[in-house]
Amino acid sequence: MTLPNKWFLSDGRLMLDDSANPFEGWKYSRLAKLTIQIYSFDKDARMFQRTLKSNASPPQIFNRIEVSNIVDKNYVGMSVLSDWGPLLNKSDHHCAIIGLFMNWQT
């Protein structure tokens, strides 16, 4: 049986919007109780694994990796999956690389 991805859909509608403000959609009181770590790098996305391995402070595995629209073929493309896939937490069967295909066409 195929189930909708609960991280993308809420009440049957798409939750992701590239211009969304998190404070308009997330329950801030719930988020305030969580321990969340966000890491941001300004290096070439294809070299992220190498950058990460040379810096011991951030974690080496992730449950979610947000790659924005670099999955579009006119940016990095689908190689993001092979470049970043090894960084996903293999013990979490809900882990995901989350991308946005802004320039997708049929």
**Could you tell me which residue, 85 or 103, shows the higher pLDDT?**
85
For residues 18 and 102, the answer to whether their CB atoms sit within 8 Å is yes
pLDDT above 60: residue 1: no
Tens digits of residue pLDDT in 47-75: 877 777 777 666 788 898 888 888 888 88
**What pLDDT is attached to residue 12?**
61
pLDDT above 90: residue 37: no
For residues 82 and 71, the answer to whether their CB atoms sit within 8 Å is no
**What pLDDT is attached to residue 91?**
94
For residues 35 and 44, the answer to whether their CB atoms sit within 8 Å is no
Q: Please give, one letter per residue, the 3-state secondary structure of the chain.
A: CCCCCCCCEECCEECCCCCCCHHHHCCHHHHCCCCCCCCCCCCCHHHHHHHHHCCCCCCCCECEEEEECCCCCCCCCCHHHHHHHHHECCCCCCCEEEECCCCCCC
